[in-house]
């Protein structure tokens, strides 16, 4: 089971394709709030569900690709 204590502020978050999707702002409940200052964020906070996390080492690795996440974030 994933320990949220392993997730640190400013950690890089990577899609399953190895592409950068953001940086951790903080853990909020059952999700990670990504920093809105990241270029991909376009000035908005985005959220990553804990269910999307594959593993945590020096990065947070997701089980969704960067294109899946970016498409989801662009939906109205």
| DSSP output for 17-36 | TS-EEEEEEEEETTEEEEPT
Given this model, what pLDDT does residue 40 score? 74
pTM of structure: 0.88
Given this model, what pLDDT does residue 72 score? 82
What domains, with CATH codes, occur in the chain?
9-74 (2.30.30.240)
Question: Is-contact 40 20, C-beta < 8 A?
Answer: yes
Given this model, what pLDDT does residue 2 score? 67
The residue whose two tokens read 């974030």 is 73
- The three-class DSSP label of residue 37 is coil
Q: Alpha-carbon distance 74 to 35, whole Å?
A: 16
Give per-residue pLDDT as tens, 9-68.
999 999 999 999 999 999 998 899 999 988 777 788 889 999 999 999 999 999 999 999
Q: Which one has a higher pLDDT value, 74 or 7?
A: 7
pLDDT above 60 for 76: no
The DSSP code for 40 is: G
Q: Which token pair is 22? A: 């953001």
């Amino acid at each position: 089971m994933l320990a949220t204590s392993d997730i640190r502020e400013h950690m890089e978050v990577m899609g399953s394709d190895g592409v950068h999707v953001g940086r951790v702002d903080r853990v909020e409940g059952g999700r990670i709030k990504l920093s809105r200052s990241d270029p991909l964020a376009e000035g908005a906070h985005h959220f990553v569900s804990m269910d999307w996390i594959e593993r945590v080492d020096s990065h947070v690795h997701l089980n969704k690709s960067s294109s899946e996440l970016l498409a989801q974030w662009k939906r109205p």
